[in-house]
Amino acid sequence: MNTATDQTQRDRALALLAERGMARLRELIGAGVDEETVSRLVRRGEVVRLARGLYQLPDAGFEAEHSLAEAAKLVPKGIICLISALQFHRLTVQLPPFVWMAIDRTTRKPKVTSPQIRFVRFGGKTLTMGIETHVIEGASVRIYEPAKTVVDCFRYRRKIGLDVALEGLREAVRQRRARPDEIVRYAKDCRAWTVIRPYLEAVVSDAA
């Protein structure tokens, strides 16, 4: 490769990463940057390899939700859920050591080593309803909204702890991030109403 071509590809790679915060290898290749150029930029320290096939600039800012953006880039069909979603919505003081992500029951489990991702399998409406899209570090991240997240936490209370689910419920109602009727609707759609009902009634009564 001649020097001019190398410089052009370098400029394209750095511009794309500056614009998007992070980029997959296929995105860089789609922008006209070949794999050899990317490897060269990593060796020079001009680009950082975050995980297999995922890159960013070395001076890129790390937001609190950085791992969520990484996970979304690596598993674009996944949805941030449970404690990770609670933390994003500021409904818990928990700081999970890995990203909780929902995937379809029929999907093969993605092989991701970094960041650490704990996958749970949802099916039907429990997977597709209540999804919001947020932009974090230039990445589109799909995250369940507060009311749906609270319901999911009760559904998976044996995995994350009933205390965490209760904290999320209390904070969602206290901060008015989720209305009781929204929680009821999701709970019934997810067949979790019997479990959540006494806790929701108690929280609403205390807040009255």
The tens-digit pLDDT sequence of the chain (208 residues) is 556 567 889 999 998 888 777 788 888 999 999 999 999 999 988 888 877 788 888 866 555 688 999 999 999 999 999 999 999 999 987 877 889 999 999 999 998 887 889 999 999 999 999 999 999 888 899 999 999 999 999 999 999 999 999 999 999 999 999 999 999 999 999 999 999 999 999 999 987 6
DSSP string covering 65-134: THHHHHHHHH-TT-EE-HHHHHHHTT--S---SSEEEEEETTSPPP---SS-EEEEEE-THHHHTTEEEE
Question: How far apart are alpha carbons 128 and 125 in whole angstroms?
Answer: 5
Q: What would the two tokens of residue 206 be?
A: 């205390």
Rounded to 5 degrees, what are φ and ψ at 96? -60, 140
Please report, as a single letter, which amino acid is at residue 51: A
- What contacts 62, CB < 8 A, 6 or more positions away? none
Q: What would the two tokens of residue 178 be?
A: 């989720």
CB 109 within 8 A of CB 119: yes
- What contacts 149, CB < 8 A, 6 or more positions away? 81, 82, 85, 86, 89, 91, 130, 168, 172
Question: How far apart are alpha carbons 186 and 191 in whole angstroms?
Answer: 8
Q: Which of 12, 3, 95 is nearest to 55 (CA)?
A: 12
What's the whole-model pTM score? Answer: 0.75
